[in-house]
């Protein structure tokens, strides 16, 4: 069985996220999603999520491409996750291209193109603009 892992916040889940998860699953047989915890998002990324970790986890678990959701609690847990879960392929969006090449010592690293016309940042900005009117 070929295992794949990807990481993200997946707040305000949208079709770009689903596209990424579908294409990540196409890289293997079993998809693990490391979901950023609320604490990690706030303390390390300075991001406040709309949905809590538990709600985001529930949404991801409902997507047929996702086999397992684990918490992402630190930037440096990727090597240990790859080793612990015996991951064959690490997948991220191409906006991270080159940032995780150090994992090539442990598994294949694949950067997938993003869905260009959608992002959580764009959704939040559009909502902000509507509320300002």
Q: Catalytic annotation on 47?
A: yes
Of the candidates 39, 38, 43, 44, the residue with the CA atom closest to the CA atom of residue 10: 38
Of the candidates 81, 9, 82, the residue with the CA atom closest to the CA atom of residue 40: 9
The residue from 2, 3, 25, 47 that is catalytic is 47
CB 39, CB 73: distance < 8 Å: yes
Q: Catalytic annotation on 45?
A: yes
The residue from 2, 3, 25, 45 that is catalytic is 45
98: left (phi over 0), alpha (psi -120 to 50) or beta: left
Catalytic site positions: 45, 47
């Amino acid at each position: 069985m070929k295992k794949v892992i990807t990481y993200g916040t997946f707040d305000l889940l949208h079709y770009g996220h689903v596209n990424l998860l579908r294409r990540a699953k196409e890289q293997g047989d079993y998809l693990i999603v490391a979901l950023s915890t609320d604490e990690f998002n706030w303390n390390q990324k300075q991001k406040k999520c709309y949905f809590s970790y538990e709600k985001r986890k529930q949404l991801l678990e409902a997507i047929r491409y996702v086999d397992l959701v684990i918490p992402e609690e630190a930037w440096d847990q990727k090597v240990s996750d790859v080793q612990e879960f015996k991951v064959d392929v690490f997948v991220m969006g191409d906006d991270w291209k080159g940032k995780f090449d150090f994992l090539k010592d442990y598994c294949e690293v694949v950067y997938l193109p993003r869905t260009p016309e959608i992002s959580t940042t764009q959704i939040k900005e559009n909502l902000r603009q509507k509320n300002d009117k």
